[in-house]
Every structure is written in C-alpha cells, then in structure tokens.
Structure 1
C-alpha cells in the first residue's frame, strides 16, 4: 500500500465514523484523533481532501438522511427526524433545512424537489483508491414488476415514490419478501437528460394487472454476470460501475451480453442510513 492509499484510508475512517454517528455530537478534535491528524491542520486537510469543510460536510450528511426520511417515511414525525439526525431541536433543523434547500421540511415532504436536492446535496466525488472484489455467478431469470422512468436522472426518486405507492396498493411485490432491482439502460453522464431510461423493479410471482402507476411485467434474463458489491450511497454507484468497465472488464477477457448493467438493492434508502446501503452491481456476460 503506497502513501496515497494510507492517507485515503485515514480519511475513510473519519467518514465512516461520521456516517455512523450522525445522531450524536461530532467533535472535530475526536475526528482528527481517529485519523491521527494534528487538530491544528485537520480542518485544512479535510477541506483539501473532500472539497468542503468538516462542519459543512457533517451538516450536509445530516440533511441528506433527513431528506430521505421525510420523503420515504411519511408517518415519521418531523420532530423525531430532527433529533435522530443530530439536530438540537426542530427549530434548528427547520432553519438549516430551509437555508440548504430553500424550503421547510414539511414542504419538502409534501412535494420533494429532487432536481434541486441533487444540485445542492450531491456529495463530493472521490476517486476509489482500492481494487474491488468481482465474482462471476450464474443468475436465474427473474420476473419483475417494472416502472419505466424516462427523463432526468434527478427525477428517479419521484418514480421510486410511485413504485412504492404501487407496491403498497397492490401487495404484489412486498418489500419484506421480494427483491428490488434497478435496470440502467443509459449512462446519465453521456445521454441527454430527457432520454435517460431507468426501470425500478420488484420481483413478482405472476401477472400485474393494469394500474394507475403504470407498472408492467418484465423479465431480467438469467445467465452469467460479473457482480461487484457497492457499499454506501447510490449516488456513488458510478464508482463501482466505472471500475467494472474501466479496470475489471479489459483484464478479465470476458465479453458482455446484450443486456444493460443492473442493480440488486439488498436494502433500501427509504429505511437504511446511506453508509449501510448495500447494492450488488451486475454486469451481464456471455
């Protein structure tokens, strides 16, 4: 491991600690000790590495978690969300939320502005420093209920809310006993936003009747796949996808099958802290 890798690992330890303690006070001196950095230099080192100051980073992570809970857990009280995300009281939470997103928590809950949210809340991009474990497996075909999203990637969460609505209304693909997938037909970095296509899917055992949400039946074909497990935010899935295409595939000698990369979500952002999210990225092979 070279010096750059060791330096990155020290910061990863800090970021992991922040992610798992957002509901608690986070002392900068304690964070600097975790990484064995001098407290006199930690602020500058953090800003240089992440592109944002430590206090701002912590605030953004708290607001990101709160945003997901507001949108995807409508029965959860705003007061409870504020306290569970590390704010001293609902007033300070509301003030910080409005300053960051231009609306109150209750307004965001009623009508989430995901494009605006992405513009303000997407975390800094950091290069993946380590190689990844990639396994080749053979998967069985999967019949799924699919909601076809077409439009800006930032609007996928709006489609996700419609799919959740269908799941609850139909009872045909319950979260507790079915699998959840995403099929990425297009690369959001290269396709025009209005042409971006992405299916949100849940496994089903039989037909899907016509429904107001527009959910239909599709099949994820079986076959060989290269699978890499992604840990953390779905916004950073491009890191894992990039590694598969850029590093693993050329060195593997494998050839790709005519089906897009897809995701198997092992847990969901609606009820899981971002740092605990697990997603298996599938690259279909011949």
Structure 2
C-alpha cells in the first residue's frame, strides 16, 4: 500500500502544471477515491487539495524569485493558471504575499516539501477491533450541522446535546433496539478533505430497525454492509480523536480493507467525572483485493 501511495505522490509531482484529479491518484494507489482522500489527510496531516496547491506554489515561488526573465503570467500558466488573478490569489494564500510584491522585495516564502510515505515500526499497543456484518438500519435522533474539530472539545456538539435536554434524550434512547446500543454520536456527510473547520451532519441518536420512527425526529437510512469496530479507553476527548487517527494511519495500511461511504458511529461511556472515556468506533469498510503494506 505504501509503495502505491508513493507512486501517487510521484504522479502529483509530474503533473503539477496540469489539473490533477483525485480519481486518477486513487487509481494509481489502487483504491477508491473516497478512501484515498481520507487516507491521505490522515497520513499527511493536510487535505489532498491543499497539499497539491502548496506544492504548486512552492515551485512557482522559486521561479518568481529565481527566474526574473519569466513574466508572472508565464509562471502562472506553467503551473496551470489561466489568469494572473487566480495565480496571485493562490500564491498569496500559501505565501502570505502576492507574487509581484514577492519579486520586487525578495520576500521570504514558504516551502512545502515533497511527501514520501515510509513504514515506521513503533512499540505501540495492538489495536482492538472486530468485523461486523449488519443489515440495513436507521439512525434516529436529533441532527445538527457542526464543524469538524481534530483536537480538543467540540463546543458546537456539546452545546447541541445540552440543548436537546435530558427528557428528550431518554425518549430517543428508548428507541435503541440493536448494536451499537444506547445513545450514539453519528457523523455523516463529512467533507472529503477532512479539513479542520469543515462541516458535517451530527446526530445524537440511536440505531434502530423501526420502520416508522417518531415523525418529529431526524432519521438517516443506512444500507447493509461491513463495519470495523474499534475499542479504546483513555482521557476524554483526546482518546476518541486519537482513535480515529490511529484507525487511518495504522489499521487501514496494515489490513486488506478500505473505508466506504457511510456514517461513522461512536459510542462513549464517560467516567471519573467526565475526564476519561471508554469508546467504540464503528467505521463502514469493504474488503479489498490487496494484501497489507507492500
């Protein structure tokens, strides 16, 4: 898998002057576009589109400063921009200064190094997981649109849950009739980039097989499929956020599975006055033909 990811990185480097489609990179890596985007952002710590932009502007910046015989429009066209205005916006977003001013003043620019993925063997503990086949089910509860937060408490989710009220939460919990049982946090419609601050649909609800749930509640139909279920325990909320990171940076590269479209389901039990948590994370997966890391 790592060899194929590095082939995708080589593809990016050889096509920085052209439009780069995530689907082409996924084919190079022999996986789905959905899984490739998520794998990349988890491993690289930056969304795919942002990495490509930074690489383009790194090379463009070197030409802006080091090739005064080329006009700024020539540099823009060389890196796939039809207009100087679009190039200037992208340049400023990465370097914090426009290309014209950078050339006049010899400004200090930022550099995004090329990414290469390597296997690092660490003494981390084994991940606890199981595979579950589930028939179609429904998530029922209350829904809100919230921002994605990678580290620290998600205040938008906390405020949303507080606003539901204990009595309503008890009513929703009573609808739970299958695994994962009890009140759950369900994340759906995440932005493919997984960038901090992008929005997602968050449900505080339950999993049920009921065909006619209460009409005043929000619901999400989930088709049948395979799920990888991961267990974790530790400080709240860090243990939950690190669990998601470890699933994509450790488990997927080492196992013949890829993520597939669908909601992510989190069951949490808090203790020690909310300072620690036991968590169970359900991720929709599909079997791949590949073996583990190559």
Query: Structure 2 length as normaliser, TM-score?
Result: 0.43
Q: Which has the higher strand share?
A: 2
Q: Which has the higher helix share?
A: 1
Query: Structure 1 length as normaliser, TM-score?
Result: 0.44
